[in-house]
C-alpha cells in the first residue's frame, strides 16, 4: 500500500491568535491510502519558518485529532529543536483507496517578561516534516508492513499564526 499526505482544502488560512490561547486549529491534513487500509501510528512535525521571531517555546503543545474530535496524539517541541513526532495513542485508520483527515491544534505560550517571548506579532509556522522519510508512518492492514508517508512539504501545510498579546479576541 501507499500513504500520501497533503494539505486539505478545509485547512485554515493565516490568522491572528492571542498568546496563551489553547486548542487553536492550525491545519488539516488529508491522508490518502491505496491498496489497503493503513493505521497511521506516528506523525512527524517541523516548526518551519526559521524567522528569528519564532522559537519552539512559542508552542507549548500540539494535539492531533480525528474528524470526530477524538485526540489521537500529542507532542511538544523540546528545547531549541524545531522537530517533533507524535506517536498516536488511538487508531487513525485511512481506508483502502480512500482518505481521512487529521486536525492539528496548538497551545500558544504566553507573552511577557520571563516568558517565551516578550513581543507580540510573532509568526509561528508548523508543517509536516516531509524530510523525515520514516517520520510519518502507518501499518498496512493487509500487508502488516510499515508504510512511510509521502507528499509535498512546506509551511502551507499548517497555517502561520501571528500571535498577539490581546487576549480579548481570536480572529480567523
What 3 state SS string does 52-119 have?
CCCCHHHEEEEEEECCCCCEEEEECCCCCCCEEEEECCCCCEECECEEEEEEEEEEECCECCCCCECC
Q: What is the sign of the dihedral through the CA atoms of 161, 83, 68 and 29? A: positive
Cell triple for residue 136?
510519518
pLDDT in tens, 15-60: 778 888 899 888 888 999 999 999 999 999 887 765 556 778 888 9
| Closest to 129 (Cα-Cα) out of 94, 172, 77, 89 | 77
Specify the pLDDT at position 154. Answer: 44
* CA-only gyration radius of the chain, Å: 16
pTM as predicted: 0.85
Is the pLDDT at 104 greater than 50? The verdict is: yes
Lowest mean pLDDT segment, chosen from 26-30, 94-98, 118-122: 118-122
Amino acid at each position: 500500500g501507499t500513504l500520501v499526505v497533503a494539505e486539505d482544502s478545509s485547512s485554515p488560512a493565516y490568522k491572528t491568535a492571542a498568546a496563551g490561547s489553547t486548542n487553536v486549529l492550525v491545519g488539516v491534513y488529508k491522508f490518502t491510502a491505496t491498496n489497503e487500509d493503513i493505521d497511521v501510528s506516528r506523525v512527524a512535525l517541523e516548526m518551519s519558518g526559521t524567522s528569528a521571531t519564532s522559537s519552539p517555546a512559542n508552542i507549548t503543545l500540539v494535539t492531533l485529532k480525528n474528524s470526530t474530535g477524538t485526540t489521537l496524539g500529542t507532542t511538544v517541541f523540546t528545547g531549541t529543536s524545531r522537530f517533533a513526532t507524535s506517536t498516536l495513542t488511538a487508531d487513525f485508520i485511512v481506508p483502502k483507496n480512500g482518505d481521512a483527515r487529521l486536525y492539528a491544534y496548538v497551545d500558544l505560550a504566553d507573552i511577557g517578561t520571563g516568558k517565551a517571548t516578550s513581543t507580540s506579532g510573532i509568526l509561528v509556522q508548523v508543517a509536516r516534516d516531509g524530510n523525515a522519510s520514516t517520520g510519518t508512518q502507518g501499518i498496512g492492514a493487509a500487508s502488516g508492513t510499515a508504510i512511510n508517508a509521502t507528499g509535498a512539504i512546506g509551511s502551507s501545510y499548517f497555517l502561520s499564526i501571528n500571535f498577539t498579546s490581546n487576549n480579548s479576541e481570536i480572529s480567523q
